[in-house]
Amino acid sequence: MSFLFSSRSSKTFKPKKNIPEGSHQYELLKHAEATLGSGNLRQAVMLPEGEDLNEWIAVNTVDFFNQINMLYGTITEFCTETSCPVMSAGPRYEYHWADGTNIKKPIKCSAPKYIDYLMTWVQDQLDDETLFPSKIGVPFPKNFMSVAKTILKRLFRVYAHIYHQHFDSVMQLQEEAHLNTSFKHFIFFVQEFNLIDRRELAPLQELIEKLGSKDR
């Protein structure tokens, strides 16, 4: 959760997405933070009894966006057009950007440009009340789960890029514990609800297995 990052400046890449205080989603976020504090991440990601699955996924998706926003915000000076001319996760994985609306045909671009496109696109989805309703009683749309899966699949790529291309910088900043905890939480969450195809996780498969085995 975002409270993991209180030790450093609160520089974010994009503006933080806030969940309205007093709303049911805010209560869910507080519940998630409390269970995370217990240290058992496998338990912390489980759907709380009696809660709506879509709402639980929505609250956590907003929180992962905020976490990645902060993590990437700490290393933007190292992720430049020169250092990262393509959006990659190691030598075997390269990502091209398309959003299906403004950019229909995938384009090759630098990592900072790709991540800017990606985070702006995610922000637009989160701000869309028809996709992510914040008011009580407003139903989630039928396509909510497929949109959430696309958001999480794309957010994973930012983790993958940071781990493969910028882990040295993360260590210099002494942020590796934050990054690892955030990523472990993210992976346990997407595994719990089967939200990202295994093939999409391939760039960090070794790390995912290591994090999973440590928890058994």
Residues belonging to the binding site for Zn(2+) are 79, 84, 161, 166
Helix (H) or strand (E) holding 150: helix 144-172
On whether the CB atoms of residues 170 and 79 are closer than 8 A, the answer is: no
Annotated binding-site residue numbers: 79, 84, 161, 166
CB atoms closer than 10 angstroms to residue 102? 9
Distance CA 28, CA 54 (A): 12
Tokens, residue 204 = 């960090």
Distance CA 4, CA 21 (A): 19
Residues 6+ apart with CB under 8 A from 48: 28, 31, 56
3-state class of 97 per DSSP? strand
Tokens, residue 6 = 């209180």
Could you tell me the CA-to-CA distances from 72 to 37, 81, 105, 147, 205 in Å, in that order? 23, 15, 26, 22, 21
Tokens, residue 113 = 């440009």
